[in-house]
A = this chain, B = another copy of it.
């Protein structure tokens, strides 16, 4: 019996929130030939609906596995996204782009990447993907390239695999893209944006509020990309 050569795909752990950026990142990791293990954190976010989106996106993009890990960051408080503060609405672009917003969750990406690293080590994966972006939303300190570079160094010192000479790589394919470039990239990869969720403070029926920073950035991105957002009803 002659058997064909088996090509094992390399594994990647991809952080998946259910928003456009993380969904596009997952689509990119898949397109690059990785077998994707998606990790979603249920951290007590106000917009819990994004977890349902994450499940749909992971399924649509054939993730090898999708884990939803519970970690109640509400216990620490200090962020509009975990319920302590109000989500700002109707801010203009200049305001969104300046300073660190109240939607910042203390050390969130560091916590999430650390957990992704733990899973990657168990899976014998050396590649982590995260959809951070330093262009359109530079207010979060943990979205900057120098944070990611520093994390990668720390990751290789923190782990058995790192000590044994293997290198973890933190992939941030969107880090220098604008929101419209991300949307065009996702569109090119066939991503179904109707599965994604961006709103920080959805209406009781789950529909986006249309006025928080995340909704406004999404609308601007779709508008600049010249693509219609399937989540938004066209004007009659």
Contact = CB atoms under 8 A, between A and B. Distances in A.
Given A71-B71, A154-B147, A154-B154, A141 B160 contact: yes
A97 interface: no
Q: Is the interface of A mostly helix, strand, loop or mixed?
A: helix
A98 interface: no
Given A69-B75, A157-B147, A111 B108 contact: no
Q: How many copies of this chain does the complex contain?
A: 2
A20 to B, nearest CB: 23
A159 interface: yes
Interface of A: 67, 69-73, 75-78, 100, 104-111, 114-115, 117-119, 121-122, 141-142, 144, 146-147, 150-151, 153-155, 157-160, 162-163
Question: Which 6 interchain pairs have the tightest Cβ spacing?
Answer: A78-B122, A107-B118, A106-B121, A106-B118, A147-B157, A110-B158
Contact of A115 (B107, B109, B118, B141): B107
